[in-house]
């Protein structure tokens, strides 16, 4: 079975310019994803990008590079489009899609997901969340009544996607054009390692964690 890993790392970033290359804990953010992929049971590591600096950083850290076409590298482009582009260009049976914004991901998490692929068509990483009262930006309760506030223990716990990684078969990806489909399973990660870097507040938090 051919197991590939792919990291999508566009050059453009609104929240943090050149986010994928910003220094986190003393090294570029992208390298955390490359290291996790390389230490996992996936056969090799690819980076899909439209940015020459990211291409250089990927190659320097031992990853292969596939050039992401400009028309699927826009702010409104979906990651699934780049995954399908990769699947049409590179042969594999199972693909691990790793997001570089999750530097606390470990190879062991990925390997747990790969083991589950014997029983599922797709797997993704999650953390467990108990009920908390949520409000709209207009300060209206979302899914609960202010006059009958639920007790936490009376509400069902849920899985929350943490965005760290997704695993799927090539067949499923090409058929659905989505990162997950068919029989779907999850890999639980602790909340303490489920943070993503999208803003400077996130960046400051992760830097504190990694000290």
Structure confidence at residue 43 (pLDDT):
85
pLDDT at position 197, please? 95
In sequence order, which residues have a C-beta less than 8 Å from that of residue 157 and are 6 or more positions away? 128, 129, 130, 131
> In whole angstroms, what is the distance from residue 125 CA to residue 131 CA?
19
Question: What local confidence, expressed as pLDDT, does residue 153 receive?
Answer: 87
Q: What is the dihedral of CA 42, 113, 92, 87, to 10 degrees?
A: -120
Is 152 annotated as catalytic?
Answer: no
Distance CA 30, CA 61 (A): 9
Q: What is the pLDDT of residues 104-125, one digit of tens each?
A: 999 999 999 999 999 999 999 9
Instruction: Please identify which of the residues 38, 149, 152, 170 carries the catalytic annotation.
Output: 149
pLDDT at residue 41 greater than cutoff 80: yes
Give 45-102 pLDDT, tens digit per residue.
999 999 999 999 999 999 999 999 988 888 888 999 999 999 999 999 999 999 999 9
User: How many whole angstroms separate alpha carbon 128 and alpha carbon 150?
Assistant: 19
pTM of this prediction exceeds 0.85: yes
pLDDT of residue 166: 98
- For the chain, domains (ranges, CATH) are 3-125+162-209 (3.90.550.10)
């Amino acid at each position: 079975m051919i197991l590939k890993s792919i990291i999508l790392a566009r050059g453009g970033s609104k929240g943090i310019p050149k986010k994928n290359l910003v220094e986190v804990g003393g090294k570029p953010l992208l390298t955390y994803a490359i290291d996790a992929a390389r230490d996992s049971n996936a056969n090799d590591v690819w980076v899909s990008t439209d940015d020459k600096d990211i291409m250089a950083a990927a190659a320097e850290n031992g990853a292969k590079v596939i050039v992401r076409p400009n028309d699927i590298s826009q702010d409104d482009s979906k990651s699934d489009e780049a995954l399908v582009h990769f699947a049409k260009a590179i042969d594999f049976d199972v693909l691990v899609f790793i997001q570089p914004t999750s530097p606390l991901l470990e190879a062991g998490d990925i390997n747990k997901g790969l083991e589950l692929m014997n029983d599922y068509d797709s797997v993704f990483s999650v953390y467990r969340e108990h009920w908390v009262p949520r409000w709209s930006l207009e300060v209206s309760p979302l899914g609960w009544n202010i006059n009958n506030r639920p007790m936490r223990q009376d509400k069902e716990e849920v899985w929350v996607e943490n965005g760290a990684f997704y695993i799927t078969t090539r067949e499923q990806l090409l058929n659905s054009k989505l990162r997950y489909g068919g029989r779907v399973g999850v890999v639980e990660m602790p909340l303490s390692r489920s943070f993503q870097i999208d803003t400077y507040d996130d960046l400051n938090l992760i830097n504190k964690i990694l000290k």
